[in-house]
Every structure is written in C-alpha cells, then in structure tokens.
Structure 1
Amino acid sequence: MLTIHTADELRISWDADPLKDGAVAVEGDRVAGTGPLDVLLERFPGARVRSWPGVLGPALVHEGPLPQAPSPRERVHAILKSGAVAVLQEHVDTPELRAAAQRNDVVVLARTRPTAIVAPGRADLAVFDVDGACVATVCAGRLVHRRR
C-alpha cells in the first residue's frame, strides 16, 4: 500500500532548505515521490497519510558503537529509535549483531555517506521534533519506530 508521510517541514537532505507542509510518498521499500502534500495527494489518490509533528528528512547513519542492551536485537532497535537506519561495519562486529541488522533491513556501511531522500531510492526516513528527539523512523519503507 502506498503511504504518504508528511510533517510540518520536509528536508530532502539535512542541509537542504525546508519545504513547509512537505511530504514523501512511499511504495513498498521505495520513495515514489516528494513535494508539497497537496501535490502528492493529487498524484496518489487513496494513499494512506501519516502526519507527523516536526521535521521529516532522510534517516541517519549511526556512526559510533551501538548502544548497550541485553540483546543484539535491542541494540539495533536502539539505533532505529534514534532515527538511524544505517551503521558502520566496524561497530557491527559480531555475527549476532550482523544478523540483527540484516533482519531489520539496517544498512551496514564500510564508511559514512551523505543521506538524502531521492525517488526511486530506498525509503529511509526520520522525523524529529523541535528538541531533536526522534518521533518516527521508516526503514526500507516500514515504520519501525514511533514515539507515543
């Protein structure tokens, strides 16, 4: 099902100018389009709409060690809760951590890279509130975290 994620502001990359009432259309694990919400609603009639408070932009790359937690799954989930959907290979140093990352579609990178929302790229999104706390994370098109 096609989902449109919208927020007070959209940033295609974190250094890009904000687009007020911007949105990202997601189909499967791919970005189907970006732009003003009204334009995407017209382009994709019948799409489910998820409205978020804050700024919607590309998900992050977690550059340090994964947070400590009782299990590899919980360590990976902790980075998803922070708005990241990618980790550096050097910090995923056990078979259990690599398996947990793979099961959750978390990208393992040899080195950091810039992030951006690009159609038809992979739908990796994050929403942050005015205090910088992660409100929601979309990893490969799936909503994997939302703050209640």
Structure 2
Amino acid sequence: MLTLHTAELLVPGAGSAALPGGAVLVDGDLIARVGPYAELAAEFPHARVRRWPGVLTPGLLVRGADVLLERTYYPDDPYEVTELGADPITGAEALADLKLTESRWGNSARRATQKLLARGVVAVAGRLTIPVVRTAVVRSGLTLLPPVAAVSSDLPSLDPFAGRDTAEQAFFGILEPGAPARFAVFTAPDAEALLAQGATTCVATVITGRLLHRRR
C-alpha cells in the first residue's frame, strides 16, 4: 500500500533545501517519491494520507549505544521507580548494587529503545556485547551501526541533538526515491527550532515504512 506522509515543512536531509508542504510517498519499506504534497496527492489519489504537524526530517542517529544500553539501567515504571527512582542509573558501583541479570539488561534495553523511538531515532552506533541487549535493539527496528569516530562534543545521550551545532548533524541518511523509508516528524516549525526544542518534540517515527512511534 502507498502511504503519503506530509508535514508543514519537509527537510529531506543535511544541506537540502526545505520544502513547505512537502511530502514523502512510501511504497512498502522504501521511499518512492519526494515532493510537494499537492502534486503527489494528485498523481497518487489512492494513497493513504498521514498528515503531521511541524517538520518532517530524516530519522536521527544516536552514538554511544554501548554506554546508553549496556552501562545504563532504565528502571521499570511503575514497578521499580518507588525503590530506584525514575532516572536512569549509571556508574559501575550503582549498577553492581543492582545485581543485574541478563534478563533485566534485556528488559532495560527494550525500555530504552522505546525512549529512542519516541525521540525520532532510527539508528544507533556502538559495540554491544550483551546478547539480549543486541537482540532488543534489532527487534525494535533500530539500525545497529559499528562505533563511529567520536568528536569532542560527543556525550552519550538519548537526545540525538545533544552536543550538536545543527539539527542536521543528527540526521541519518537522506529522504530520496529508493532510500529506506526512515524518517521522523517533530512539532518544531523548522530544523533550527528543532535543535533548540529537542527530540522530545517527536510526534512520529517511521522505520522501513512502519509507524513505530506515534505520540498519543
């Protein structure tokens, strides 16, 4: 089935001109067309239409997946927050006190991947050594990449914009015909405002054509 995703502003990728009222036509797990919504809607009148507020961009990349997923524990809400609190737990001593099993690491990673999807993330980079954590990432739909060269501003964070000078630095890929249908939509009016407002403004995340996150 063809699906036409449109937003108030489309930013196809880093260095690409923004397109007001732009749209992405998805066919299966690939992008079929990119262009003005009015033109694509007229050419493909039977496509399902999803209208989103704000700006539609490529999905985002998070670095330091090993730190975020294998050296950070995300308490289970509501079952653990009374005892552990709601904030992620880091530090070798604090993690050792939790006596985490492989199963708990896997459950923590699944909670973390949901937080990432809710921030428009479609790919993570890092070397994962705990099998259940790696499985959680793969099953979530996120693309797992090898570690990438770090820069001085790189600090492991669930927010892909942390430490970035522009929002485009967090983009993963470009929205063009034939590319995998991986993108996100944010309520910010443009990419500049997106950097200031952060990834929690995400309203939708699409990976391989599937809507894996939608803000309720």
TM-score by length of 1: 0.90
2:181 equivalent to 1:145: no
* Structure with max Cα Rg: 2
Question: When you count helix as a share of all residues, which structure comes out higher?
Answer: 2
98, 109, 120: which one aligns with 1:83 = 120
The yes-or-no answer on 1:135 pairing with 2:203 is yes
How large is the Cα RMSD of the aligned pairs?
A: 1.8
Q: 1:76 to 1:37 in 2, by over 3 A?
A: same
What amino acid is aligned across from residue 44 of structure 1 in structure 2? Answer: F
TM-score (norm 2): 0.63
- The list of structure 1 runs, each at least 4 consecutive aligned residues, that deviate by more than 6 angstroms after superposition, is none
Q: What amino acid is aligned across from residue 42 of structure 2 in structure 1?
A: E
The amino acid across from 1:137 in the alignment is T
Residues 52-88 of structure 1 show CA distances to partners (whole Å, capped at 9, x for unaligned) of 0000010001113247424222211111111011001
CA deviation after TM superposition for structure 1 residue 111, in Å: 4.2
| SS at 2:6 equivalent | strand
In the other structure, the counterpart of 2:132 is 96
Query: Which position in structure 1 is the counterpart of 2:164?
Result: none
Which structure shows the higher strand fraction? 1
Deviates more, 1:21-30 or 1:68-77: 68-77
Q: 1:38 to 1:108 in 2, by over 3 A?
A: same
CA shift, 1:121, in A, is 1.0
Q: Distance in 2 between matches of 1:116 and 1:68?
A: 32
Aligned mate of 1:116, from 144, 154, 174: 174
Any stretches of 5+ residues in structure 2 without a counterpart?
Answer: 77-106, 149-170, 189-196
Write the distance in 2 (CA, Å) between the matches of 1:15 and 1:54.
19
Shift in Å, 1:114: 4.8
For 2:176, give the aligned amino acid: V
Percent identical pairs in the alignment equals 41
What secondary structure does 1:25 align onto?
strand
Structure 1 unaligned spans of 5+ = none
For 2:30, the aligned partner's letter is R
Q: How many residues align?
A: 147
The reply to whether residue 38 of structure 1 matches residue 38 of structure 2 is yes
In 1, distance between residues paired with 2:110 and 2:116?
A: 10
Q: Deviations over 1:72-128 (max 9, x none)?
A: 2221111111101100132x3321121112112211112458521121111001011
What amino acid sits opposite 1:85 in the alignment?
V
Equivalent-residue separation in structure 2 for 1:93 and 1:75 (angstroms): 16
Distance (Å, rounded) in 2 between the aligned partners of 1:73 and 1:123: 22
Q: Give the whole-Å Cα distance in 2 for the aligned partners of 1:60 and 1:95.
A: 24
Distance between the aligned counterparts of 2:175 and 2:31, measured in 1? 7
Which residue number in structure 1 is paired with residue 84 of structure 2?
none
Give the corresponding residue for 1:55.
55
Partners in 1 of 2:180 and 2:126 — Cα distance? 19
